[in-house]
Chains A and B, each alone.
Chain A
Amino acid sequence: MVRPTEFKITRTTTETGVTLSITGELDLSTVAVLAESVGRLGGDGKQLTLDLSELSFMDSTGLRLLIELDQQARREAWKLVLIRPRHETAAAVLQATGADSALPFEDPTDR
């Protein structure tokens, strides 16, 4: 299926931990890819940042994954940081579901 933006995960490692930058659409066809990428990191990181600033779309399955990661981070005592999507459609889902305030979201830094 043709997608407006290709789903892509870019991994960068910094002193504080690992950042996964996600572009494209996070929905039921791509959510497993992200779950696997996160799973593969193992528990060694002190901090995991999911940069969603370039995410163009997210559905309920994507949201569910974020909630699961948040609960996992609390349980295993590591830090999860989520970067807010710039795209209206993805941001609206987070606001409408209360995830924006309940999950550890931060604004994207200006480029």
Chain B
Amino acid sequence: MASTLAEFIIDRAYSAVVSMDEQGLVTAWNPSAEATFGHKRDQVIGRPVAEVIVPERLRAAHVEGFRRFLASGEGRVLDRLLEMTALRADGTEFPVELTISALRDGAGWSFHAFMRDVSERKEAEREHDRLVAELHRALRGSERRFEAIVGSLGDAVTIRDREHRFLYANPAAIAHLGFSSWEELRDTTPAAIMEDFLVFAEDGREIRMADIPSVRILRGEPAEPLLIRTVNRHNGAQRWNLLKAAPLLDEDGEVEATIMIIEEVTERKRVELQGIFLAEASALLASSLDYEQTLRNVAELAVPEVADWCAVDLVDEDGDRVSVAVAHVDPARLDLAKELRSYEPERLDPRQGLGLVFRTGQSLLYPEIPDDLLVEGAVDERHLELLRAVGFRSALVVPVRLGDRILGALTLVSSDSGRVLDEFDRKLAEQVAARAAVAIENSRLYSQRSSIARTLQQSLLPERLPEIPGYELASVYLPAMEGSLVGGDFYDVWSVGDSWMMIIGDVTGKGVDAAAMTALVRHTMRTASEFLTSPAELLARVDATLKQRPSLSVCTALCLRLQDDRATIAVGGHPLPLYVTEQRVSAVGEHGPLLGAFAEVSWQDIAVELQAGGTLVAYTDGITDAVGGTGTRFGFERLCDALDGVGDRSAAEVIGRLSEALAKFQTGAHADDTAAIAIHRVAAAAAAEANASEADSHASNGQNHDRRLAGARHGQTN
């Protein structure tokens, strides 16, 4: 050889390298050639190639071809991949794959062959052919019925050999895998077929070749049926397939091939998923009366189940778009989606997209979105850039309508998942939209009704408390959380002659009815107070009035008459008021029955002397029933603790202390109305009257309960 480098390479080449001269004698023979043919280099150098490696029956043709080349300079065998039969030293024949190159220099022609033993591959191919022949015998020969049955089966059936190559595929399988003929399918590798699809398991994880049941069988693993979702990368079609595989064993019990049945369950699966999705969406829509939040939840639910992103828009009174929710399958791209939506004008083009849907009330499905549609729709360069970045594949716009009224629209877009939205998705989205419409309407009606009732209820509270000489008044009213159906606390303070009346109560009822009851109670009280001075009699009058109402109307109330330093108290099913001095906190008064509830009942007046600096605190059960973090109630003890030691403070300070303690304890919104009113006898006024009235009268009212006792016996009234 000409150079040591060439020798170096040839010596180490994986292929057998054999060179010969014009006479057809061996001139080079590398170590691979020694291994392939079984001849040592020394044994063959200078011998005719034809004798050494060409089987005798083929030698004449070889010599003839060689002679023809030397005569004409044209060789049909040069510089292309050939397959030939070669001869080993031991006389056996074997298939080789080779290329031959010819080189002419000063010494004349030389020929160089690179050869490989391909007997193993040939063996595998023969085995494959044998299996195919066997199978075809089985199918077409004695058991034609198999072919008849499997061939006409709607399910795709394939049989593959150990290398995953197809031995058989019925027409359904050929069509299912996207091929037009058996030959085309047979000549495509399994990996190449797999590449045409995005394949996912039911839980969304990606499925690889190794997970396919037939491949698992070949690894000796059990192969449970596998449900997969495929998305065709080319046309975006989505399918659900159930793969079931079983081994075909040879006589020795070895796996010879696998048979796989691909059952398409797309329709069934989508109906099932649709059912689940609709059930979830319905539950979400019914879960709250805050429809904006609800629609956001539904949008979140729609990705990735139905689409890659989902937007909800509502129409306002002027017919303009109000964006309510945008959800994207990839939160990182939500910004993109939101920025994109900022480009959409509030006033929509009535001829296309959302505007068209708002106008016609008909849903729009764009199975494919070509680029020119984006160009057409783009406002400017940045907008077009964003539209392209989103990677729209298909889109669906469905109206949210109630009869002829268009409330808004759901927009569903498929992008990254690559699947196209179809008629099935349209139907699903329309059903979700129908439920959303009902939820929106309910919530609108409800919030109207509830705010009417709320407004009415609150309008029944005095705008401000009157000024009472010698006293200071303060109150707090915390309405129940929005949407709560209960609530109905009220209070009122008014003057009658030389005395002052105060009432605080709680009607148990709902909405407008509760407000009507409150009005009735207050009106009755005010009117009756013109001719009745006893709080107990006033309660009896209210009780009688409530009992005349057609439906059960019950109410708790505390009625108090204030004259000079004396308070006369009657209580009907209401918490007893607390009398707070520098020394102690005690509940005063006597429990009496709930108003409007029971037959043959009466109430009692209890007189309480108010010391200078003392404060009476009347409250509703919204305070003691308030729920804290661990589920415990605020209760009577905490209420007393909050008021303990407030001493000679102003009424406003007392109420402030109480509100603060409650706010610190309570978690979440008020479930019920909460009200309290403080009546503080100011020290200066008390001093002026010190001589006029004997304030040493704790014993005289006799009905004071010391705090411990009150906690036990009267702590939680209602």
Contact = CB atoms under 8 A, between A and B. Distances in A.
Interface string A68-111: 10010000000000000000110011011111001100000000
A97 B554 CA distance: 11
Contacts of A1: 627, 631, 667-668
A28 B554 contact: no
B621 A98 contact: no
A41 interface: no
A96 B717 contact: yes
Contacts of A40: none
Interface stretch (B10-18, B286-294, B352-360, B586-594): B586-594
A93 B621 CA distance: 10
Interface stretch (B128-136, B651-659, B691-699, B708-716): B708-716
A96 B718 contact: yes
B625 interface: yes
B552 interface: yes
B671 to A, nearest CB: 6
A19 B341 CA distance: 60
A92 B601 contact: no
A54 interface: no
A57 B718 contact: no
B621 A99 contact: no
B213 interface: no
A57 B718 CA distance: 10
Nearest to A56: B633
B556 interface: yes
B597 A102 contact: yes
Contacts of A29: 671
Contacts of B716: 57, 89, 92-93, 96
B593 A98 contact: yes
Contact of B591 (A27, A67, A95): A95
A2 B503 CA distance: 35
Nearest to A99: B594
B601 A61 contact: no
Contacts of B715: 88-89, 92
- Chain A interface bracket (under 10, 10 to 19, 20 to 34, 35 or more): 20 to 34
Contacts of A99: 593-594, 597-598
Contacts of B631: 1-4
Interface string A1-20: 11110000000000000000
Contacts of A63: 508, 554, 573, 594, 718
Nearest to B591: A96
A60 interface: yes
A46 interface: no
A75 to B, nearest CB: 11
Contact of A57 (B506, B594, B633, B671): B633
Nearest to A28: B486
A60 B591 contact: no
B552 A67 contact: yes
B544 to A, nearest CB: 15
B630 interface: yes
A93 B625 CA distance: 12
Nearest to A71: B552
Contacts of A102: 593, 597-599, 601
B672 interface: yes
Nearest to B672: A28
Contacts of B627: 1
B573 A97 contact: yes
Interface in B630-651: 630-633, 635
Given A3-B631, A67-B554, A92-B717, A59 B601 contact: no
A104 to B, nearest CB: 12
A64 B717 contact: no
A98 B508 contact: no
B625 A97 contact: no
B705 to A, nearest CB: 12
Given A89-B716, A93-B717, A67 B671 contact: no
Interface string B421-456: 000000000000000000000000000000000000
Interface string B654-682: 00000000000001100110000000000
B552 A27 contact: no
B718 A59 contact: yes
Contacts of A59: 621, 625, 672, 718
A102 B554 CA distance: 14
A67 B594 CA distance: 10
Contacts of B554: 63-64, 67
Nearest to B596: A67
B648 to A, nearest CB: 30
Given A63-B594, A64-B554, A89-B716, A96 B633 contact: no
B675 to A, nearest CB: 13
Contact of A60 (B592, B598, B718): B718
Contact of A98 (B576, B601, B635, B667): B601
Given A59-B621, A64-B552, A98 B597 contact: yes
B672 A98 contact: no
A4 B628 CA distance: 11
Contacts of B629: 2
Interface string A46-64: 0000000000010111011
Contacts of B506: 60
A98 B573 contact: yes
Nearest to B507: A60
Nearest to A89: B716
A33 to B, nearest CB: 15
Nearest to A103: B598
A95 B573 CA distance: 9
A103 B554 CA distance: 14
Contacts of A68: 552
B382 to A, nearest CB: 48
A44 B713 CA distance: 39
Contacts of B597: 67, 97-99, 102
A40 B712 CA distance: 37
A96 B598 contact: no
Residue picked from A3, A88, A96, most chain B C-beta under 10 Å: A96
Given A96-B591, A96-B717, A97-B591, 6 more contacts: A2-B631, A27-B671, A59-B672, A59-B718, A96-B716, A103-B598
27 contacts: A2-B630, A28-B486, A28-B671, A28-B672, A59-B621, A59-B718, A60-B506, A60-B621, A61-B486, A61-B508, A63-B594, A67-B554, A68-B552, A89-B635, A92-B714, A93-B716, A95-B591, A96-B718, A97-B591, A97-B593, A97-B597, A98-B573, A98-B592, A98-B601, A99-B593, A99-B594, A99-B598
Closest 6 CB pairs of A and B: A98-B593, A102-B598, A97-B573, A96-B717, A2-B631, A97-B594
